[in-house]
Amino acid sequence: MAIKTAYIKQLQGITFAGKTDSGHWVMIDGPDKFGGSDAAIRPKELLLLSLGGCTGSDVASILAKKRVPLKGFEINLTADSTEDHPQVYTKINIEFLFKGEGLKEADLERAIELSFTKYCGVTAMLQKAVEITHSYKIITE
């Protein structure tokens, strides 16, 4: 079993800097009214970016190996959140936007399926607690 580490340092109030094993820093903050300086991303927002980045990396890698001629690739994530504390995500939808000509739906669907069922560790962890759905669109120019 591999051990992963993360280090978080309070800078002021609820403004933090965090670093993981990769050695890269990220800022985490909150709004002024809770003691933050409203200067960086919120922790739960990072969760959405982690999910999108993880599945996006998988899908891009799989499509590159299949030599799918993408001209662009974007991901939109939307999440439903409870209003009462703890405010948790109850449903997350991931919309993949593939740009290009002659893209085969089967290739795109298979890449997404492999990410969701085999490769994306963030999806594997989150889907135990949150309903995660996905959709995709092909945008031709």
| Tens-place pLDDT, residues 60-100 | 999 999 999 999 999 999 999 999 999 999 999 999 999 99
* 113 confidence band (pLDDT: 50, 70, 90): very high
- Report residue 25 CA to chain centroid gap: 17
The per-residue pLDDT for 141 is: 75
- Can you give the pTM of this predicted structure? 0.92
| 71-101: b (≥16 Cβ within 10 Å) or e | eebebebebeeeeeeeeebeebebebebebe
Percent of the chain whose pLDDT exceeds 70: 100
The per-residue pLDDT for 28 is: 97
Average of per-residue pLDDT values in the chain: 96
Instruction: Report the C-alpha gap between 26 and 39 in whole angstroms.
Output: 12
CA distances 34 to 11, 13, 38, 94, Å, are 14, 8, 9, 30
120 pLDDT above the threshold of 80: yes
Percent of the chain whose pLDDT exceeds 90: 99
